[in-house]
Chain A
Amino acid sequence: MGVVIIGGGQAGLQVADSLRSGGYEEPIAVISEEHGLPYQRPPLSKDYLTPGADPVPLPLRGETFFTEKNIDLRQGTTALAVDRSARTVALDDGTELTYDHLVFATGARNRRLSCTGADLDGVFGLKTLVDAQRLHRELAAAQDVVVVGAGFIGLEFAAAARAHGCGVTVLEFAAQPMGRAVSEETGAWFTSAHAELGVRLRLGEGIEHFESDERGRVRAAVSTIGSRYPADLVVVGIGVVANDALAAAAELKTENGIVVDASLRTSDPAVLAVGDCANFPNVHSGTRTRLESVQNATDQGKHAARTILGETTDYTHLPWFWSTQGSFRLQIAGLSSKDDWTVATGDPGAGKFSVLSFRGGQLAAVESVNSPADHMSARKLLGGGLGPTPDEAAAPGFSLKSYARQAASKPSGG
């Protein structure tokens, strides 16, 4: 009995950790289908791929953590089926575990292209350590790189490939990079920043098909407007889909992820879901969302542990996210939407600025480029429901950092 956690990623390990630090003494098992000690994913598309980097994964927890906290980590083991009436999980090594509480922390998998040539040798995704190790080797020999998708992973990889001296073309169907996540202003700044790095960012242009050489390796990418780009290495970064099939097979409600309530319980109260795979009611966007970030995985992991320990509060954590693309640093606090009113502060020309998004006159999100102090100030302000008005933000010389300092020194609110 006890808790079984399916998935040994950021969210799953956090549940185990927080359960133990919250005083939970029953058995805890973490089922992890990847081999080796669970590791952090963000460095895989950043530090890990830079020239001369030491490609050692950064563990999420050290080896001693699992023995000291008495957490049964099953490495290289896949959960195959869940029987909710018997409260059992069947594993691919033939064993069966029983649970009082089950947690889905299965994450997401890369969306795949369906065009001709998508399965050629030399066409890769980037999700796991194994993917990153392969790309680490491939980059050393690659000359012409094509990246499909100008999202975070695509652009991070593009910057790393440029640092290796490769020619890099990024094909993006939308009119701006990172379109789902950032404002037009920030998108435009990154467009020119990547151009300066020498990345050929082709907006409004998708992939039509790949050409193969005689050995079955990719040779070129042909775009939707008919342009042909030579390529000996391709990375596809077109988003992810939640790993919710196992939950669906157990007849839990799924819809773009495993549907959970504000305490992160699924339609079965003995079963919870956290992290990339969970579709939850998000107070910051006012809609149901699935978020793919370390913050969300960590905070939901902590929250699910509290739910299991008997607390019944709602999950309301402020989302935040970061991306580094070469030397460009982007940090986002809150969730912006396309209809928000935006005000830029700082100096975009000098590459150091923030874009503040307002909804209904209230600060809703802040994107900071090379401005960590703005980001941290934004997290404090948004977390406390404080924030400047659009007029205050638009005033000449406005600084989020000074504003946050003043707000903090006031006795209540600001």
Chain B
Amino acid sequence: MSTIIFTQPSGTTDAITVEEGTSLMRAAVTNGVEGIVGECGGQAMCATCHVYVRPEFAAALPEIADDEEEMLECTTAERTERSRLGCQIPATPELDGMVVDVPSDQV
């Protein structure tokens, strides 16, 4: 179990306990985190699970695969160095306490 903190553009936060292996998108959708849509069910096909990961955790994330990279070029909110698709990040013990920012727009 790790705790992931989703921060909304308004500043409100949701701290969610995520089972190891469960993706951030799935955890967010299951717990009703605003702004994480997950329209394609986690297949890197829709970019509606775009999140900004705080830099302190960048090193603990899985590498960006080609398809994720291509989808990230097409996010609705601006893509930054911290952009990831939540569906491509499974929770691991190393990510415990990670803060991710939810973009203002997903679709």
Contact = CB atoms under 8 A, between A and B. Distances in A.
Contact of A62 (B32, B47, B67, B74): B32
A298 B41 CA distance: 13
Interface stretch (B3-11, B23-31, B91-99): B23-31
A65 interface: yes
Contacts of A46: 41, 43
A372 B30 contact: no
A47 B67 CA distance: 16
Given A58-B26, A62-B30, A65-B32, A372 B74 contact: yes
26 contacts: A40-B38, A42-B40, A47-B41, A54-B21, A58-B38, A58-B41, A59-B29, A59-B30, A68-B32, A294-B39, A298-B39, A322-B43, A322-B45, A322-B46, A324-B43, A324-B45, A329-B43, A370-B67, A372-B44, A372-B45, A372-B71, A372-B74, A373-B70, A373-B71, A376-B70, A376-B73
Interface of A: 40, 42-43, 46-47, 54, 58-59, 61-62, 64-65, 68, 294-295, 298, 322, 324, 329, 331, 370-373, 376-377, 380, 401
Given A58-B41, A298-B39, A331-B45, 8 more contacts: A43-B41, A47-B41, A58-B30, A64-B31, A322-B46, A372-B45, A372-B67, A372-B71
A373 to B, nearest CB: 4
B42 A58 contact: yes
A43 B46 CA distance: 14
A65 B30 CA distance: 9
A380 B75 CA distance: 11
Contacts of B46: 322
Contact of B71 (A43, A370, A376): A376
A36 to B, nearest CB: 13
**Interface of B, helix, strand, loop or mixed by DSSP:** loop
B74 A376 contact: yes
A42 B46 CA distance: 13
Contacts of A295: 39
Nearest to B37: A298
B42 A322 contact: no
B43 A62 contact: no
B39 A329 contact: no
Nearest to B23: A58
A40 B71 contact: no
A61 B71 CA distance: 23
A371 B70 contact: yes
A190 B26 CA distance: 30
B31 to A, nearest CB: 5
A43 to B, nearest CB: 5
Contacts of B44: 372
Nearest to A405: B73
